[in-house]
Structure 1
């Protein structure tokens, strides 16, 4: 190209780039309210945001992948932990972690009930923002590590995908031909339910997260049912596991990490979010964890 053609090319390319930038900017602004779930910004959400900033939570935690990366990303925390858990945790984090053993340095902020309610509302709003998959692998709330490895359990499970034929199986998907094993289907439910069971439970012995390890759950359940300490209505292990999924507060596992004020921290939504078939498959998988 000669100088005139080069100059003309540069002008046209710049103009097209500027036009494209303006169109994309306009389109982004047009969708901001929808993408950010703006209609759900209540006074409680605003108050929670102010509590978040006042206590410099971002100095340790991240939201949308932005923050100090010292502590877990909290973008989807309200979908991974229920309100009862978050409320009890923020009242006194020391009940949930042994600082010497887990190296947790979460300070007790002495937050008021109003501040805690605001933070929970803020986290709930954040979790419903369409962040288009960012961060791609949010850090889950656990400091546990798998025995014999230096990889944390959160690294091993937060990005886990259950695939069949190279395609990730969505929650509630019907089994494909040759994929009728209820234990295998139950393991898929274990990893793909919302929230995923792997967010709170491990299947490794001694690795307790927000919920107790499920390794050996069958033997422990048998001992519980025979002990006289059981407070629920199940008659056998499979019934107890089913009850624990759909009615988690029927029997409370001892310990401040797992319940407060007579209410289990286990989500109560699985009974309506999962089909009876999926719950049976999940029970079949748990029954395999001898």
Structure 2
């Protein structure tokens, strides 16, 4: 091309690129109200955002993919865990994680009940933003994940054969009823013998020897409402309890989970765990919304 053709090409290319940019900008602004869920911003959501910033949560967590990567991304956290779990966790994170075993521990933010409620409202608003699939998957705290499974340290570091003083296995330890049942349920999830975490992931789409337990509460309700369900449970909690003590009452679809009408899940939990422990485990699993 000669100089004149080069100049025309450069001007035309710039004009076309500018036009495309303007069209995309106008289209983005047209969609912003719907994509950002802005119509649902309430005073509680605004207060929750202030709590998020005041406590520098983004120094450890990511939200919409932005922030630090020391702790999990919280973009969709309220869709993965319900308000009861998040409330109990924010009141005392140390009930859910052990610094020595998990190699990290969220500091207690010492939030009031109102601040916790506001923060959960803010995170719930964030979870309904149409982020068009970004981040592309839940960002888990791995610290050395098993290839293909993306298990967290909490799932990997369990030792189901370990016993407490006196020879009593972790799953049979007496529990302190003064503690939060969801926190106790989470501990039991990793400490029962056999450990639940060895076969079940709590991350969406991560299926191990057993199906993922993410969104378990919603899944359980769908099963109960379906005509194929022949069990006795009428509530989500009842279904989870039944699945623990009578795993063959409902067989999760898929040849890797059962055979000849019998679930591969050990049927011994109903005998090895106390009713109180099962209730704690149910409380924890029912918080997976």
- Report the equivalent of 1:88: 88
Offset from partner CA, 1:229-253 (integer Å, 9 cap, x none): xxxxxxxxxxxxxxxxxxxxxxx78
Q: Structure 1 residue 254: deviation in Å?
A: 8.5
Q: Structure 1 residue 69: deviation in Å?
A: 0.6
- Report the equivalent of 2:39: 39
Is this contact kept in 2: 1:61–1:73, CA < 8 A? yes
Is this contact kept in 2: 1:62–1:68, CA < 8 A? yes
The structure-2 alpha-carbon separation of the partners of 1:207 and 1:60, relative to structure 1 and needing over 3 Å to count, comes to farther
In structure 1, C-alpha distance between the alignment counterparts of 2:159 and 2:42, rounded to whole Å? 38
SS at match of 1:255: helix
Unpaired segments of 5 or more residues in structure 1? 159-198, 209-222, 225-251, 260-265
Is this contact kept in 1: 2:93–2:105, CA < 8 A? no
Q: Structure 1 residue 281: deviation in Å?
A: 3.5
Q: Does 1:282 align with 2:282?
A: no
Instruction: Name the stretch that deviates more: 39-48 or 15-24.
Output: 39-48
In structure 2, C-alpha distance between the alignment counterparts of 1:282 and 1:12, rounded to whole Å? 60
Q: Structure 1 residue 35: deviation in Å?
A: 0.5
Offset from partner CA, 1:89-143 (integer Å, 9 cap, x none): 0000011111111122210111011110011111111111111111112223x66
The structure-2 alpha-carbon separation of the partners of 1:47 and 1:205, relative to structure 1 and needing over 3 Å to count, comes to closer
In structure 2, C-alpha distance between the alignment counterparts of 1:59 and 1:205, rounded to whole Å? 26
For 2:145, which of 123, 148, 151 is the aligned residue?
A: 151
Q: Structure 1 residue 8: deviation in Å?
A: 0.8
- Report the equivalent of 2:103: 103
Matched residue count: 196
SS at match of 1:282: coil
The structure-2 alpha-carbon separation of the partners of 1:111 and 1:12, relative to structure 1 and needing over 3 Å to count, comes to same
Is this contact kept in 2: 1:95–1:256, CA < 8 A? no
Q: Does 1:269 align with 2:263?
A: no
- Report the equivalent of 2:5: 5
The structure-2 alpha-carbon separation of the partners of 1:253 and 1:27, relative to structure 1 and needing over 3 Å to count, comes to closer
For 1:255, which of 154, 166, 184 is the aligned residue?
A: 184
TM-score, normalised relative to structure 1: 0.58
In structure 2, C-alpha distance between the alignment counterparts of 1:62 and 1:288, rounded to whole Å? 37
**Which residues in structure 2 correspond to 1:123-138 (within 5 Å)?**
123-138=123-138
SS at match of 1:269: helix
The structure-2 alpha-carbon separation of the partners of 1:256 and 1:133, relative to structure 1 and needing over 3 Å to count, comes to same
In structure 2, C-alpha distance between the alignment counterparts of 1:82 and 1:4, rounded to whole Å? 65
In structure 2, C-alpha distance between the alignment counterparts of 1:254 and 1:92, rounded to whole Å? 9
- Report the equivalent of 2:64: 64
TM-score, normalised relative to structure 2: 0.58
In structure 2, C-alpha distance between the alignment counterparts of 1:26 and 1:39, rounded to whole Å? 20
SS at match of 1:70: coil
- Report the equivalent of 1:119: 119
SS at match of 1:110: coil
The structure-2 alpha-carbon separation of the partners of 1:270 and 1:10, relative to structure 1 and needing over 3 Å to count, comes to same
The structure-2 alpha-carbon separation of the partners of 1:49 and 1:273, relative to structure 1 and needing over 3 Å to count, comes to farther
In structure 2, C-alpha distance between the alignment counterparts of 1:207 and 1:43, rounded to whole Å? 46
Is this contact kept in 1: 2:40–2:125, CA < 8 A? yes
Is this contact kept in 2: 1:62–1:75, CA < 8 A? yes
